[in-house]
Structures are given as structure tokens and as C-alpha cells.
């Protein structure tokens, strides 16, 4: 880890990039983090205040689109592109070394408005869960800057299904880390 608390990563190999680009998303409700969350999933909607003003908004969105929200939270990211773009693929690595859980994802939409920026990624085969997670940074009319995380997911892998309440607790812990990663 560097001084910022980020995990230093590499990008996907050509083989990984090809394999992921051919994969289908592992859930049918693509884009539903923008609207009413679909039934049959665990839902997360959380928001954290990052600070005040245009400079905070700019720093937060630059970090967000550079995969820093995940990295600063301790998640290793192997992306197909150095910055978030629509349809970019990534493998998120949770844990250490050979014990790390691989969680392949694809960016399913990007928001690029003057006061609202963000993206959502959806799960690909091999991810322990099925669903979507959105990360949005907003500069509000009162100049406050917030990060909102919206997600729906359900376990797919045997390990995730066996984890039950522990998996839900882990998701909450990671969400808290995500929100703290852009603050300050």
C-alpha cells in the first residue's frame, strides 16, 4: 500500500480482458440501480458526506473514475482501462494473495453531468454474488458533496450462500470503507 492507503494494482492481462469482454452479465435487471431496486435481492442504499464545494467534488470524481474508491478501501482492482469507462471490465480482488476472492465486474453505465458523476458495475460469471452496485458523487445546491452507493445483490457461489448473515455484514463493512475512501 502506498501513502494514500491505496492498493497498487496492475491491469488485466490480454487473456483476462478477452475472456471478460465475451462474458454476459450474471443478472437480468441491468441498470436498475438508477430506478426502483428489483425484488428478490438484498438492497443497499447508503450516503456519506465528503465535504463542501467544487474542489471537493472535483477531487472525489477524479478519484472515483480512477478506481480509487475501491483501491482506497483495500480492494485490489485489475481493470481493462486505467479510468472507468462505459463497458470497462475489471476483476476486484478481496483478500490477500492466493486466498483473494475474485469478483469480475463490468461497468454498465456512466453518469457525467455537471453536478452528478458516477458509474455502476454489474457482476460477471465467477463473481460470488449476482447484482449491481452504483457509486455516485453529487455536488448539491448547498455546495455539500455526497457519495451515494446503491446496490442489489444475492449470493451465487456456495461460499457466499453459506456465508448468509456474514456475507451481508461483509457487504456493509465494505460499503462503509467505500464511503470513507473518498472523504477527506
Q: Which residue(s) pair with 85 in the sheet?
A: none
Please give the grid coordinates belonging to residue 138. Answer: 453529487
pLDDT of the residue at 97? 77
- The CATH number corresponding to 14-182 among 3.40.50.970, 3.30.530.20, 3.40.470.10, 3.50.50.60 equals 3.30.530.20
pLDDT value of position 5: 42
pLDDT of residue 156: 87
Give residue 144's pLDDT. Answer: 97
Helix (H) or strand (E) holding 145, with range, is strand 144-155
φ, ψ of residue 182 in degrees (nearest 5): -95, -15
* pLDDT given for residue 171 in this prediction: 66
Rounded Cα–Cα distance for residues 143 and 6 (Å)? 27
Which pLDDT does position 123 carry in this prediction?
97
Low-confidence ranges of the chain (pLDDT < 50): 1-8
Assess contact for 119 and 107: CB atoms under 8 A. yes
C-alpha span between 152 and 32 (Å, rounded) = 9
CA–CA gap between residue 119 and residue 116 (Å, rounded): 10
Please report the pLDDT score of residue 101 as a whole number: 87
CA 79 to chain centre: 12
Strand order in the sheet with 42-52: 42-52, 144-155, 129-139, 116-123, 101-112, 89-94, 76-79
pLDDT the model gives residue 182: 79
Amino acid at each position: 500500500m502506498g501513502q494514500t492507503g491505496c492498493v497498487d494494482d496492475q491491469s488485466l492481462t490480454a487473456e483476462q480482458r478477452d475472456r471478460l469482454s465475451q462474458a454476459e452479465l450474471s443478472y437480468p435487471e441491468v441498470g436498475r440501480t438508477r430506478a426502483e431496486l428489483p425484488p428478490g435481492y438484498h438492497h443497499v442504499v447508503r450516503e456519506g458526506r465528503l465535504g463542501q464545494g467544487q474542489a471537493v467534488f472535483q477531487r472525489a470524481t477524479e478519484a472515483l473514475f480512477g478506481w480509487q474508491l475501491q483501491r482506497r478501501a483495500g480492494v485490489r482492482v485489475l481493470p481493462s482501462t486505467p479510468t472507468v469507462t462505459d463497458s470497462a471490465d475489471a476483476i476486484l480482488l478481496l483478500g490477500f494473495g492466493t486466498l483473494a476472492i475474485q469478483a469480475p465486474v463490468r461497468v454498465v453505465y456512466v453518469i457525467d453531468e455537471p453536478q452528478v458523476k458516477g458509474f455502476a458495475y454489474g457482476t460477471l460469471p465467477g463473481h460470488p454474488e449476482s447484482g449491481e452496485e452504483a457509486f455516485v458523487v453529487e455536488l448539491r445546491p448547498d455546495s455539500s458533496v455526497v457519495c451515494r452507493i446503491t446496490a442489489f445483490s444475492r449470493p451465487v457461489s456456495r461460499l457466499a450462500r453459506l456465508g448468509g448473515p456474514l456475507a451481508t455484514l461483509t457487504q456493509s463493512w465494505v460499503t462503509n470503507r467505500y464511503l470513507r475512501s473518498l472523504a477527506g
